[in-house]
């Protein structure tokens, strides 16, 4: 099997990448990422430079935009995002992982119906829940609180956890469990000490996805927060002033909001890829 | 056998205990709101009109008004267009990208993660990115068009191009999803098939059409359907780029429901619109599950 | 669970102390203090208020530490972007919330909030001499600016901090003189001037922005039409009258041919930028957005600018007048403290300080506007901006109250339909008659769906 065939889009045969293909991939990557890179470079420009055309690709960068962001409500919104995303992820995992295990071992009827109901909650547009949540939170005083956000985020993260962890549990051979159970171990022990360690990659991937979805949320935060619990994505939109489209600040704000997610995703990319595909493909 | 019976009983108890909290929580924070939504859709509930929240005198009023509401019908069309074209391009481009990256190379595996960036970005940041690109004053796109002497209208305030502009941004954002899924599928195709075909003298195109494509078609369909369901949620792009305009050219149903509920405070009517959307989502989800089960049955 | 943090407040604390020291020295020494009780009657109270980001509040925040020092209360003023604020405040008030003690009553929502009884009646505060001394003079506020905050019986629910008198700014008188053009006084002349200037030197004839339901009514009324048949009594929409259609065509034509690309999505700030940099010649909007061409340091067109009355229509000459005001939600928890704040922020003393120290002139107190100081600061190149401002703001009170359409609580619904319809015409989707007929139907249907009997 010659390894010299090269060029363009190929078939399913795996071979070492040719130079032409690598170049094609590189060019495609830069082109695809150019809008994102444009945002990044704009965040380091002063407003005058931004309005200047042709856009100077080489310029003295300034941290002014980032610095001015750090005074004001932006740090607080970052903290809100962090708290609401982390706590809802933790809550969803604590509740959802055992539930996914139970579902994967369920032999009874109704399993498909249950799975389907869970899928629908995951798939429903946010507005379906925002109206009732808004009215209820108003009545109970949870509007504009991190607690309120955590509950709302759990409402879509919990189904995600169950949906994603089920296939992972299904890959754990039941023979292992049977053996341990017959030996007298309780299901709880079997679950905690045998099954759980085997699905750690799945839990990691799911945790990251949950954090990602919660962090990225815009709609719920827009409606259910005012200024105490305002999250980073909404705070960025707030720069779109009544008086002054501060492009530099907007670009810097956008870059900051996406930074944690990017760093997170890149750091655990191995799990990210398997997590996303395992969940979707098996589903 | 009584030993096994006891074990089974204990297992069932554990399973119930493991499942129960999730089900209760889900019922409270997802089930109840859904029920409330249905109930609200049967009333003419408006926030400024407190009595209207329990007015069940004409329960189907909202649903009867829907087909006569040109803005609602328009929003369904806009949504259909956005979903169709968006999903089509996401599937096609994702597939092409997967084929390009389907190769054995550490470098490529490393680079693969960077292709995912648009998908993991907060959607509102994606909207900001494209707002920058679509604003004539500061966009390199318009500058380039000016240099080439092309009179490019402001896309987001142009009737003909506003929806296209959103579709482009949406495709950019979600293409990595299909890319990821198709790539994973490509990597499960056994090499022997294509190797044999090559030995038999087949060219690349034939290999693609007769071997690769049949293998990945189910994945293409499934990822398309997932994207279809998610496309109903399109909000940040419309919110930031066009506000539903110009006119109502980019006003998708989700955005219209949002305006109804939170700008006009017509809670009842907005709930009815949302219920219709939910039914559509449920229908497509049923399709996804059915396809998944068919594949399972075939394997 | 954890409580919301106040890290942003602590970040501002040192700044606040600094400002406090500075303001105390300057303020107390140079200007008379507003009349407030000597002891600290509101110690321990945290006053929560909200508005959209506007220069007025940014400037006011410089003075707030003095207020806090006098009264003992903490002022927590939350500012958001315009559309975000409006939606959140509207949602909050419509659901009877008490999260805010004072709010900005945005002009597009004023009638709705007043009619729906969502605001507290401020006559109770101004009528009580213990709460409001006579020197505060509630009648000192310009009439035209106060109209939106009154209900049918004349009770007042808000006091204005910003008057929006619609005027016309021309930034390139140099080009006009070169072409021998005079300042347009009628709609027809306006069109001619826009056509003549457009394209010269890269300048567009006109610039505008996306709130069509604010920009359009003067044209509709100028041609003899109105938004409603005869507000406030007869609120049947009149969007498809021949006069309205004519106005839509006229204004759409201006935007299509003589305005910058993408003008339909322009915000006010983008439009003002275009004017300040001389990239557009004409901008018709509230004076606060126009006078910077003469007064602001950012203006590149100071020497070639004029600010005048907007052109008159063939039938009527009705420039729009609006205002932004401060009000107290019906269910606010700290009403007395809120009134204390509003009283202070809109006092003659603070208004004067804003004019003198920061050149912020769109305040609403007649006594301030007619003062020597104001006249001196706001007469540029022989143009008495204060007189123009007062003239336009006072027009609705002379004779016919043509701004009555603004006091109809269903106006937001109709305004929204008008916006969409205009965009369809301006982008060539529909011809004006077709669009306006459809708009009329939609407006009636939406109003009926919202429970209005028509």
pLDDT band at B172 (very low <50, low <70, confident <90, very high): very high
A79/A86 Cα distance (integer angstroms):
11
CB pairs under 8 A between A and B: 292
The per-residue pLDDT for B26 is 87
Task: Please state, for a pLDDT cut of 70, what percent of chain A lies above it.
Answer: 84
The per-residue pLDDT for B296 is 67
Q: How far is CA A18 from CA B104, B238, B294, in A?
A: 10, 41, 39
Residue A150 exposed, middle or buried by CB count within 10 Å (0-12, 13-18, 19+): buried
Q: Are A243 and C80 in contact (CB under 8 A)?
A: no
The per-residue pLDDT for A274 is 57
With CA atoms as reference, report the closest residue to A208 among A154, A162, A271: A271
Mutate to test the interface with C, among B238, B247, B258 (most CBs of C within 10 A): B247
Mean pLDDT of all residues in C241-256? 95
pLDDT tens column, C333-364: 999 999 999 999 999 999 999 988 888 888 99
Q: Is the pLDDT of residue A58 over 80?
A: no
The ipTM assigned to this model is 0.83
The per-residue pLDDT for A7 is 39
The per-residue pLDDT for B185 is 83
Subunit contact C92:A226, Cβ cutoff 8 A: yes
Q: Is the pLDDT of residue A9 over 70?
A: no
User: CB under 8 Å to B51, separation ≥6 — which residues?
Assistant: none
A120/A122 Cα distance (integer angstroms):
5
DSSP A16: B
The per-residue pLDDT for C168 is 95
Subunit contact C1:A150, Cβ cutoff 8 A: yes
Q: Is the pLDDT of residue B68 over 60?
A: yes
Task: Please state, for a pLDDT cut of 90, what percent of chain A lies above it.
Answer: 20
Nearest-by-Cβ selection for C264 from B50, B246, B248: B246
Tokens, residue A42 = 């704009």
Sketch the domain layout of chain B as residue ranges.
66-298
Q: Is the pLDDT of residue A13 over 70?
A: no
The per-residue pLDDT for A180 is 82
The per-residue pLDDT for C7 is 40
Q: Is the pLDDT of residue C171 over 90?
A: yes
The per-residue pLDDT for A50 is 77
Q: How many Å separate Cα B91 from the centre of its chain? A: 12
Nearest-by-Cβ selection for A72 from C5, C8, C269: C8
Does any CB of chain A come closer than 8 Å to the CB of residue C46? Answer: no
pLDDT band at C2 (very low <50, low <70, confident <90, very high): very low
pLDDT band at B275 (very low <50, low <70, confident <90, very high): very high
Q: How far is CA B179 from CA A265, A271, A277, B174, B217, in A?
A: 17, 16, 10, 9, 13
CB pairs under 8 A between A and C: 77
Instruction: Report the range of poorest mean pLDDT among B37-46, B115-124, B131-140.
Output: B131-140
Residue B99 exposed, middle or buried by CB count within 10 Å (0-12, 13-18, 19+): buried
If residue A265 lies in a helix (H) or strand (E), which one and from where to where?
helix A247-267
B130/B168 Cα distance (integer angstroms):
9
Write the DSSP assignment of C266-328 as a string of letters.
--HHHHHHHHHTTSEEEEEEEHHHHTHHHH-TT-S-GGG-EEEEPPBPSS-----EEEEEEE-
Alpha helices in A2-105 (DSSP H): 19-43, 47-50, 64-70, 74-104
Does any CB of chain A come closer than 8 Å to the CB of residue C91? Answer: yes
Q: Is the pLDDT of residue A215 over 90?
A: yes
Distance from CA of A155 to the nearest CA of C (A): 17
Q: Is the pLDDT of residue B284 over 50?
A: yes
Overall size of chain C counted in residues? 454
The per-residue pLDDT for C10 is 41
Highest mean pLDDT among A96-110, A156-170, A189-203, B156-170: B156-170
Domain span(s) for CATH 3.40.190.10 in chain C: 46-164+322-379, 167-321+405-449
CB atoms within 10 A of CB C232: 16
**Rounded to 5 degrees, what angle do the CA atoms C412, C415, C416 make?**
85
Residue B51 exposed, middle or buried by CB count within 10 Å (0-12, 13-18, 19+): exposed
Mean pLDDT of all residues in C87-109? 88
What's the whole-number average pLDDT of chain B?
Answer: 86
Tokens 């001499």, located at residue: C129
pLDDT band at B155 (very low <50, low <70, confident <90, very high): confident
Instruction: Report the range of poorest mean pLDDT among A266-275, B54-63, C145-154.
Output: A266-275
pLDDT tens column, B100-135: 888 888 888 888 888 989 988 899 999 999 988 888
The per-residue pLDDT for A273 is 61
Instruction: Report the range of poorest mean pLDDT among A258-267, B161-170, B270-279.
Output: A258-267
C170/C160 Cα distance (integer angstroms):
27
pLDDT tens column, C127-166: 988 889 888 999 999 888 888 898 878 899 999 999 889 9
Subunit contact B30:A250, Cβ cutoff 8 A: no
Tokens, residue A26 = 């590189």
Instruction: Report the range of poorest mean pLDDT among A252-266, C6-20, C201-215.
Output: C6-20
Pick the CATH number of C46-164+322-379 from 3.90.110.10, 1.10.287.1120, 3.20.80.10, 3.40.190.10: 3.40.190.10
Cα-flanking dihedrals φ and ψ of residue C38, to 5°? Answer: -70, -40
pLDDT band at A3 (very low <50, low <70, confident <90, very high): very low
The per-residue pLDDT for C221 is 95
Q: Is the pLDDT of residue C1 over 60?
A: no
Q: Are C426 and C389 in contact (CB under 8 A)?
A: no
Instruction: Report the range of poorest mean pLDDT among A1-15, A140-154, C292-306, C432-446.
Output: A1-15
List of chain B residues whose C-beta atoms are within 8 Å of the C-beta of residue A219: 235-236, 258
A119 against A248, higher pLDDT: A248
Q: How far is CA C438 from CA B71, B160, C236, C431, C442, in A?
A: 11, 20, 15, 11, 6
List of chain A residues whose C-beta atoms are within 8 Å of the C-beta of residue B261: 127, 130-131
Nearest-by-Cβ selection for B105 from A16, A96, A112: A16
A15/B101 Cα distance (integer angstroms):
11
C211 against A11, higher pLDDT: C211
CB atoms within 10 A of CB B40: 25
C306/C181 Cα distance (integer angstroms):
13
Q: Would strands C46-52 and C74-80 be described as parallel, antiparallel, or unpaired?
A: parallel
Q: How far is CA C163 from CA C113, C143, C269, in A?
A: 19, 10, 17
**Rounded to 5 degrees, what angle do the CA atoms B144, B145, B150 make?**
155
Q: Is the pLDDT of residue B161 over 80?
A: yes
The per-residue pLDDT for A4 is 38
The per-residue pLDDT for A245 is 67
Q: Are C148 and C320 in contact (CB under 8 A)?
A: no
List of chain B residues whose C-beta atoms are within 8 Å of the C-beta of residue A13: 191, 194-195, 198, 207
SS (H, E, C) C334-392: CHHHHHHHHHHHCCHHHHHHHHHHHCCCCCCEHHHHCCHHHHHHCEECCEEHHHHHHHH
The per-residue pLDDT for A48 is 75
Mean pLDDT of all residues in C3-19? 42
Does any CB of chain B come closer than 8 Å to the CB of residue C423? Answer: yes
The reply to whether omega before C300 is within 30° of 0 (cis) is no
Dmax over CA atoms of chain C, in Å, equals 71
C171/C294 Cα distance (integer angstroms):
9
Task: Please state, for a pLDDT cut of 70, what percent of chain B lies above it.
Answer: 96
CB atoms within 10 A of CB C297: 7
The per-residue pLDDT for B132 is 85
B215 against C247, higher pLDDT: C247
The per-residue pLDDT for A235 is 85
CB pairs under 8 A between B and C: 81
Mean pLDDT of all residues in A239-261? 78
Residue environment code for B237-268, b if the CB has 16+ CB neighbours within 10 A, otherwise e: bbbbbbbbbbbbbbbbbbbbbbbbbbbbbbbb
Q: Is the pLDDT of residue C37 over 50?
A: no
Tokens 């109809």, located at residue: C408
What's the whole-number average pLDDT of chain A?
Answer: 80
Tokens 């509040």, located at residue: C57
Q: Structurally, what CATH architecture does the domain formed by B66-298 represent?
A: Orthogonal Bundle (1.10)
Q: Is the pLDDT of residue C95 over 50?
A: yes
Tokens 């009517």, located at residue: B269
Distance from CA of B31 to the nearest CA of C (A): 23
Subunit contact A237:C53, Cβ cutoff 8 A: no
pLDDT tens column, C274-287: 899 999 999 999 98
Q: Is the pLDDT of residue C30 over 70?
A: no
The per-residue pLDDT for C74 is 92
SS3 label, residue C399? coil
Q: Are C316 and C224 in contact (CB under 8 A)?
A: yes
Enumerate the β-bridge partners of residue C285. Answer: C167
Q: How far apart are the first and last CA of chain B?
A: 33
Mean pLDDT of all residues in C38-54? 84
Q: Which CATH superfamily is domain C167-321+405-449 in?
A: Periplasmic binding protein-like II (3.40.190.10)
The per-residue pLDDT for A205 is 81
pLDDT tens column, B287-297: 777 877 777 67
With CA atoms as reference, report the closest residue to A159 among A99, A87, A111, A107: A99
Q: Is the pLDDT of residue A75 over 80?
A: yes
Residue C130 exposed, middle or buried by CB count within 10 Å (0-12, 13-18, 19+): exposed
Q: Are A11 and B204 in contact (CB under 8 A)?
A: yes
List of chain C residues whose C-beta atoms are within 8 Å of the C-beta of residue B137: 270
With CA atoms as reference, report the closest residue to B240 among C334, C424, A49, A219: A219
List of chain C residues whose C-beta atoms are within 8 Å of the C-beta of residue A241: 53, 81-82, 269
B253/C83 Cα distance (integer angstroms):
20
pLDDT tens column, B200-259: 877 878 878 888 888 888 888 888 888 888 898 889 999 988 888 788 889 999 999 999
B78/B237 Cα distance (integer angstroms):
14
Distance from CA of B68 to the nearest CA of A (A): 22
Q: Would strands C379-380 and C383-384 be described as parallel, antiparallel, or unpaired?
A: antiparallel
């Amino acid at each position: 099997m010659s390894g010299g065939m090269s060029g363009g889009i190929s078939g399913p045969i795996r071979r070492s990448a040719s130079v032409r293909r690598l170049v094609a991939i590189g060019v495609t990557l830069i082109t695809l990422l150019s809008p994102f890179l444009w945002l990044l470079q704009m965040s380091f420009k002063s407003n005058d430079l931004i309005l200047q055309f042709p856009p100077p690709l080489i310029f003295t960068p300034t941290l002014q935009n980032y610095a001015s962001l750090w005074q004001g409500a932006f740090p607080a919104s970052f903290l809100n995002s962090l708290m609401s995303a982390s706590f809802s992820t933790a809550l969803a995992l604590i509740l959802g992982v055992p539930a996914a295990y139970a579902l994967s071992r369920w032999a009874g009827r109704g399993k498909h119906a249950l799975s389907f109901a869970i899928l629908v909650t995951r798939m429903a547009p946010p507005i379906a829940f925002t109206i009732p949540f808004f009215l209820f939170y108003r009545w109970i005083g949870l509007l504009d609180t991190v607690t309120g956000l955590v509950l709302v985020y759990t409402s879509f993260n919990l189904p995600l956890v169950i949906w994603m962890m089920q296939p992972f549990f299904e890959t754990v051979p039941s023979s292992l469990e049977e053996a341990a159970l017959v030996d007298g171990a309780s299901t709880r022990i079997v679950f905690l000490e045998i099954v759980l360690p085997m699905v750690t990659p799945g839990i990691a991937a799911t945790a990251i996805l949950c954090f990602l979805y919660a962090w990225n949320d815009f709609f719920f935060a827009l409606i259910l927060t005012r200024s105490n619990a305002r999250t980073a994505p909404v705070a960025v939109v707030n720069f779109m002033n009544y008086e002054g489209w501060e492009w530099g600040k907007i670009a810097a704000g956008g870059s900051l909001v996406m930074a944690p997610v990017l760093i997170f995703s890149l750091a655990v990319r191995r799990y990210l890829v398997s997590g996303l595909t395992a969940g979707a493909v098996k589903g | 056998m009584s030993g096994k019976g006891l074990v089974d009983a204990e297992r069932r108890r554990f399973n119930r205990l493991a499942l129960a909290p999730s089900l209760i929580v889900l019922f409270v924070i997802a089930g109840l709101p859904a029920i409330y939504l249905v109930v609200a859709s049967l009333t003419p509930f408006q926030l400024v009109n407190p009595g209207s929240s329990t007015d069940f005198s004409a329960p189907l009023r909202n649903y009867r008004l829907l087909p006569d509401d040109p803005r609602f019908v328009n929003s369904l069309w806009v949504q259909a267009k956005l979903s169709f074209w968006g999903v089509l391009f996401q599937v096609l481009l994702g597939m092409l990208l997967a084929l390009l990256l389907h190769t054995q190379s550490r470098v490529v595996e490393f680079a693969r993660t960077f292709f995912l960036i648009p998908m993991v970005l907060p959607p509102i940041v994606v909207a900001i990115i494209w707002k920058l690109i679509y604003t004539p004053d500061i966009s390199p796109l318009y500058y380039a068009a000016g240099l080439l002497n092309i009179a490019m209208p402001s896309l987001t305030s142009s009737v003909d191009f506003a929806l296209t502009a959103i579709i482009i941004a949406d495709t950019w954002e979600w293409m990595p999803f299909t890319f990821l899924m198709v790539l994973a599928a490509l990597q499960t195709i056994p090499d022997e098939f294509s190797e044999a075909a090559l030995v038999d003298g087949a060219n690349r195109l034939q290999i693609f059409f007769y071997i690769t494509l049949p293998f990945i078609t189910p994945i293409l369909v499934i990822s398309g359907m997932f994207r279809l369901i998610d496309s109903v949620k399109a909000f940040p792009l419309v919110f930031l780029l066009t506000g539903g305009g110009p006119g109502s050219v980019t006003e998708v149903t989700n955005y219209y429901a949002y305006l109804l509920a939170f700008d006009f405070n017509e809670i009842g009517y907005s709930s009815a619109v949302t219920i219709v959307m939910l039914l559509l989502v449920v229908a497509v989800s049923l399709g996804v599950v059915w396809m998944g089960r068919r594949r399972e049955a075939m394997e | 669970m954890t409580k919301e943090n106040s890290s942003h407040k602590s970040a501002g604390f040192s700044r606040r102390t600094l400002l406090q020291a500075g303001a105390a020295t300057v303020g107390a020494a140079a200007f008379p203090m507003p009349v407030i009780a000597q002891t600290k009657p509101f110690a321990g109270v945290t006053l929560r208020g909200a508005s959209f980001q506007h220069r007025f509040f940014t400037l006011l925040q410089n003075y707030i530490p003095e207020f806090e020092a006098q009264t003992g209360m903490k002022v927590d003023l939350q500012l958001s972007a315009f559309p975000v604020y409006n939606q959140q405040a509207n949602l909050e008030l419509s659901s009877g919330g008490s999260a805010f003690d004072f709010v900005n009553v945005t002009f597009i929502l004023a009638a709705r909030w007043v009619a729906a009884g969502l605001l507290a009646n401020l006559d109770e505060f101004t009528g009580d001499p213990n709460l409001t001394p006579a020197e505060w003079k509630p009648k000192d506020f310009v009439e035209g600016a106060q109209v939106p905050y009154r209900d049918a019986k004349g009770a007042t629910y808000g006091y204005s901090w910003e008057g929006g008198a619609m005027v016309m700014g021309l930034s390139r008188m140099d080009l006009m003189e070169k072409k021998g053009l005079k300042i347009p006084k009628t709609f027809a002349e306006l069109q001619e001037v826009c056509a003549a200037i457009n394209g010269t030197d890269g300048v567009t004839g006109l610039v505008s922005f996306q709130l069509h339901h604010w920009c359009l009514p003067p044209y509709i009324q100028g041609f003899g039409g109105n938004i409603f048949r005869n507000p406030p009594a007869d609120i049947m929409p009149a969007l498809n009258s021949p006069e309205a259609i004519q106005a839509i065509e006229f204004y759409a034509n201006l935007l299509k041919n003589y305005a910058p690309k993408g003008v339909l999505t322009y915000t006010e700030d983008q439009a003002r930028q275009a004017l300040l940099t001389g990239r557009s010649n004409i901008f018709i909007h509230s004076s606060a957005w126009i006078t910077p061409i003469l007064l602001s340091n950012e203006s590149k067109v100071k020497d070639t600018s004029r600010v005048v009355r907007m052109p008159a229509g063939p039938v009527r000459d009705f420039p729009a007048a609006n205002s932004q005001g401060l009000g107290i939600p019906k269910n606010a928890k700290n009403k007395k403290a809120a009134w204390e704040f509003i009283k202070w922020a809109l006092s003659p003393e603070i208004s004067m300080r804003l004019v003198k120290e920061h050149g912020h002139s769109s305040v609403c107190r007649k006594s301030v506007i007619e003062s020597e100081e104001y006249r001196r600061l706001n007469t540029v190149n022989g143009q008495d901006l204060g007189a123009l401002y007062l003239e336009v703001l006072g027009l609705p009170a002379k004779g016919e109250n043509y701004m009555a359409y603004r006091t109809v609580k269903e106006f937001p619904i109709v305004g929204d339909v008008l916006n969409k319809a205009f965009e369809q015409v301006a982008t060539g989707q529909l011809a004006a008659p077709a669009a306006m007929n459809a708009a009329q139907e939609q407006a009636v249907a939406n109003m009926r769906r919202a429970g209005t009997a028509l």
